[in-house]
Structure 1
């Protein structure tokens, strides 16, 4: 039987530190909701706004797959593996924290904010060797289709992680319809609306709404308006 969980944008946790405004779909830091701990292996979905010249100081992670998707502005990354990089809209960044890493993230610009999604997935293997990667994708390749941005396969399109997960992004014209086929038995899909509106399997979603669907082999997607943009996360439901 198909299961759905709807997370409306306004129901998310809010952390407002002035320089940082973060919306938490799932329990994170000071936001705790026992009914919002995770969706399958999807543990964190943070929608972050970082003021000009501000950022996160050096902090540790371990045994987590961490994906950053910039939506606006430039985010500078430094880590204990010696990586120094800037990610911008169109880039996808991934870190396998594994046995442990430290890193910092700063808004590189002094005149405008940076907006990005930070997503954490539980890995399928513990204590892997830490790794970092980033790629730049052509956003025009996701017009009226779903562009793969992440998978478990280093030879496949997008970045890869230590989990049987596939991420896609799409930008659609008004009324455009498509169907997404779930890639692995036992996986579910979590859809997050970045812009505009969609109807997914009969459920209407607005900007920054999230919808998790499990026990289904595919989902029907219809764009509600021109320029609507979506992120689909196809992920294992068993941790």
Structure 2
């Protein structure tokens, strides 16, 4: 049943008709319908072609519920920065994505003209061994970082490099540009678990295939200075750590 469901899901996600898939396999359309209904199973030669067409491993196709659990293989996915800004000495500059530019960034992050239109700057004391990008926060889900704070992230090349409990800027197909504390469960179920430091916001999950870019938070710039008398500030680091441990316990219970 998992094989049938996976074939139907992968074909649908690729916007391929049953007739088109049948032509690629050298079969009648009715045979594809039988595969997807679980009335028949593909021969090994057809399975190999299906794996190549949809870039999926054979064991994943046969035994892993891709629609429900996401693509396990995506933890090895390489994600590339296609466009960067440089100064007159060919040194990389930091491009800043402001609140108003966030929506346009979803379509323009690989467009040289769009990237050149963004503000650019340099910061001292940052290693030159990686690419940085700055994002302006628009909400209060990650207090004490207030709206308007600029978070500077270093580029993460592979999804498997995401370390649970660290904060990242994620560019996603489903949620847009978000800044969250991330827990990596790609190997277990193909998903990331995103947590806000502001407890008023509920955690949520996102599939690995919906990730376009990942930036690990390295620094921030803010004109808002902490007020020690402000009791509305969220938890201390110790309290945040305790919250993370409780969330991990809840996740383990859900998985079991």
Structure having the higher helix fraction is 2
Shorter-chain TM-score range? under 0.3
Larger radius of gyration: 2
TM-score, normalising length: structure 1: 0.24
Higher relative contact order (CA 8 A, sep 6+): 1
Whichever structure has more strand as a proportion of its residues is 1
- What's the TM-score, normalizing by structure 2? 0.23
